[in-house]
Chain A
Amino acid sequence: MGAVYIMWIRQLKRYFRSKSRIAGSLGQPLLFMVAFGFGLGPIFQQAGQGNYIEFLVPGVIAMTLLFTSISSGIEIIWDRQFGFLKETLVAPVSRLSIMVGRTLGGATLAVMQGIFVMLLSLIIGFKIMNAGTILLGLVFMILISITFTALGTAIASRMQDFHGFQLILNFLVMPLFFLSGAMFPVKGLPGVFNIVVKLDPLSYGVDGLRGALTGTYAFSLGLDLTVLILIATILTVIGSIMFSKIEV
Chain B
Amino acid sequence: MSNTVINKSIKDSIEVPIKDNVENSITVEHLIKKFGDITAVNDISFNVKKGEVFAFLGPNGAGKTTTIKILTTLMDQTSGRVTLNGIDPKINKDGVREGFGIVFQDPSLDEELTAYENMHFHGVLYNIKKDLMKSRIEELLQFVELWDRKDHIVKTFSGGMRRRLEIARGLLHHPKILFLDEPTTGLDPQTRNHIWSYIVKLSQDENITVFFTTHYIEEAEKIAERVAIIDHGKLLTVETPKVIMKNTKTKNLEDAFIKLTGNNLRDEDIGTSEQMRNRMRMRRP
Contacts and interface: CB of A to CB of B under 8 A. Distances in A.
A92 B102 CA distance: 13
B272 A161 contact: yes
A93 B125 contact: yes
Interface string B64-84: 000000001111000000000
Contacts of A91: 97, 122, 125-126
Interface stretch (B46-54, B105-113, B221-229): B105-113
B124 A3 contact: yes
Interface residues of A, number: 27
Give the one of A87, A160, A248 with max B CB within 10 A: A87
A83 interface: yes
B284 interface: no
A17 interface: yes
Contact of A160 (B104, B120, B273): B273
A86 B74 CA distance: 8
Nearest to B117: A13
A83 B276 contact: no
Contacts of B122: 87, 91
Interface string B117-137: 100111011110000000000
A74 to B, nearest CB: 14
A92 B109 CA distance: 17
B108 A87 contact: yes
Given A81-B276, A82-B111, A90 B127 contact: no
Contact of B121 (A10, A160, A162): A10
Contacts of A92: 93-95, 97-98, 125-127
Contact of A88 (B73, B125, B153, B272): B125
Given A87-B109, A92-B93, 12 more contacts: A2-B125, A10-B110, A14-B110, A14-B113, A17-B153, A84-B108, A87-B169, A90-B73, A92-B95, A162-B276, A247-B74, A248-B74
Interface of A: 2-3, 5-6, 10, 13-14, 17-18, 80-84, 86-93, 160-162, 247-248
Interface of B: 72-75, 93-95, 97-98, 102, 104, 106-113, 117, 120-122, 124-127, 153, 169, 272-273, 275-277, 280
21 contacts: A2-B124, A6-B124, A13-B112, A13-B113, A13-B117, A14-B112, A81-B277, A82-B111, A86-B106, A87-B108, A87-B169, A90-B102, A91-B122, A91-B126, A92-B98, A92-B125, A92-B126, A160-B273, A161-B273, A162-B276, A248-B273
